[in-house]
């Protein structure tokens, strides 16, 4: 009889110690691990409910990550005296089982968390399997997780290529480089970028922030009258894509290419050829019907405007390039019909006849892009 009374008294003392610890140990936190969350706030505690507010990218359908609810802190950890052990259960707000853990300070939420509100109940115990030492409830936490999408951006952008000119030339002369003019408007575009790629990969792609299209840098703006960006001279196909870029609360960079038809976006492509951005009175590659000056869209007599003589053409090895009097050759590029550069040679104060070798090239049709002190000319040559 004395032994039984002693055991009951011991149990009561242990219980009281656990209850005293419960009042001081009431911290509860949610961790997301590697996640797609852009921000998380909380918990805010109202009427005993711990609420977390989490924002994910506009294109996501659920919160992803490794979710853990913890009990205790580093300075005040959750512990149980022997023979008890730590035990945590997690249920939905309607009582359905979610998960549990033993001898851990955390319990996991498996899977993803859908957009909307999810309710959980976490119970923390010091547990024991002995029938005369019942589990001691350390705390009950009612948890609400609100997952929302950020406000979706929208764009209405129109693109048009333009030819860049050589500074301080009169009349103005094109330098062979192109850029893109942009008009339209955008909203909530703080994380959107324009990415320009080209088929040959000769100019590195750039990610140009959409908000830089407006002088204010505002996330929502109308472009007026026109904004311009990009710089490249290669004859190739250029494609403009829209890219979403952000950083999660776990510090990971996220990137999403926006598909045509989403948020008002339409992917844009344009091909630069030998007929783009040539000087007004310079010869252009042979047209089966007309020799046309592309800038003015008028027929040009090449015999009268031809100021550079290239010979022998066809050639087996070297090409001689003889400019008209007063004309100075600055550089020569050899390109194939697809715009791929096979040879590039610069000249310094090159007045008079210059020579470039085609001996290393396979037989076929090529184009010489000849830059002079008066602009750029293009000549078709044949390598035997």
Residue 278: is its pLDDT beyond 80? no
Alpha carbon separation from 119 to 27, 68, 300 (Å, rounded)? 18, 14, 77
According to the per-residue pLDDT averaged within each range, which of 82-91, 162-171, 346-355 is highest?
Answer: 82-91
Q: Predicted confidence band at 21 (pLDDT cuts at 50, 70, 90)? A: very low
CA angle 205, 210, 212 (to 5 degrees): 100
pLDDT at 368: 86
Query: Which residue is listed with tokens 């100021």?
Result: 307
Per-residue model confidence as pLDDT tens digits over 107-144: 999 999 999 999 999 999 999 877 777 889 999 999 99
**What is the mean predicted confidence (pLDDT) over 94-100?**
95
The pLDDT score that the predictor gives to residue 350 is 66
The model's pLDDT over 336-381, given as tens digits with 9 standing for 90+, comes to 766 667 777 887 766 788 888 888 888 888 888 888 877 778 888 8
Q: What is the mean pLDDT of residues 272-281?
A: 65
Q: Does residue 179 register a pLDDT over 50? A: yes
Task: Say if residue 52's pLDDT is above 50.
Answer: yes
Instruction: Please compute the mean of the pLDDT values over residues 50-58 and round it to a whole number.
Output: 97
Model confidence at 27, pLDDT cuts 50, 70, 90, reads low
Q: What is the pLDDT of residues 245-255, one digit of tens each?
A: 999 999 999 99
pLDDT at residue 5, rounded to an integer: 35
Q: Is the pLDDT of residue 322 over 60?
A: yes
pTM, rounded to two decimals: 0.66
Instruction: Average the pLDDT over 96-114 and give the result.
Output: 94
Burial letters 77-89, b for 16+ CB under 10 A, else e: ebebeeebebbbb
| pLDDT of 17 over the 60 cut | no
Confidence bin at 172 (pLDDT 50/70/90): low
Say whether pLDDT at 238 is over 70: yes
Q: What is the pLDDT of residue 106?
A: 93
At 279 the pLDDT is 52
Q: For the chain, how far is it from start to end, CA to CA, in angstroms?
A: 116
């Amino acid at each position: 009889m004395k032994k039984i009374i002693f055991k009951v008294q011991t149990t009561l003392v242990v219980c009281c110690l656990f209850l005293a610890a419960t009042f001081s140990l009431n911290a509860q936190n949610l961790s997301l691990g590697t996640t797609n969350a852009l921000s998380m706030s909380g918990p805010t505690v109202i009427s005993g409910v711990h609420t977390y507010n989490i924002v994910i990218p506009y294109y996501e359908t659920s919160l992803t990550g490794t979710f853990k609810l913890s009990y205790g802190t580093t300075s005040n950890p959750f512990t149980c005296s022997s023979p008890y052990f730590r035990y945590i259960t997690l249920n939905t707000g309607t009582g359905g089982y979610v998960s549990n853990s033993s001898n851990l300070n955390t319990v996991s939420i498996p899977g993803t968390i859908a957009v909307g509100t999810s309710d959980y109940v976490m119970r923390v115990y010091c547990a024991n399997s002995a029938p005369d030492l019942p589990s001691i409830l350390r705390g009950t936490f009612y948890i609400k997780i609100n997952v929302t999408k950020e406000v979706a951006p929208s764009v209405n952008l129109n693109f048009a290529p333009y030819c860049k000119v050589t500074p301080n030339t009169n009349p103005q002369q094109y330098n062979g480089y192109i850029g893109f003019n942009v008009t339209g408007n955008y909203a909530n575009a703080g994380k959107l970028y324009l990415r320009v790629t080209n088929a040959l990969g000769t100019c590195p792609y750039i990610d140009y922030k959409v908000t830089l299209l407006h002088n204010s840098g505002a996330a929502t703006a109308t472009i007026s009258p026109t904004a311009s960006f990009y710089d490249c001279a290669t004859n190739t196909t250029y494609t403009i894509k829209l890219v979403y870029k952000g950083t999660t609360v776990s510090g990971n960079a996220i990137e999403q290419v926006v598909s045509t038809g989403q948020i008002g976006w339409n992917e844009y492509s344009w091909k630069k050829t030998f007929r783009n951005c040539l000087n007004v009175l310079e010869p252009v590659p042979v047209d089966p019907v007309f020799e046309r000056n592309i800038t003015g869209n008028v027929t040009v007599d090449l015999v009268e405007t031809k100021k550079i003589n290239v010979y022998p053409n066809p050639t087996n090895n070297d090409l001689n390039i003889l400019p008209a009097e007063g004309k100075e050759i600055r550089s020569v590029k050899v390109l194939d019909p697809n715009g791929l550069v096979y040879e590039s040679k610069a000249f310094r104060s090159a007045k008079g006849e210059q020579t470039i070798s085609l001996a290393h090239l396979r037989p076929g049709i090529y184009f010489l892009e000849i830059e002079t002190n008066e602009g750029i000319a293009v000549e078709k040559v044949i390598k035997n």
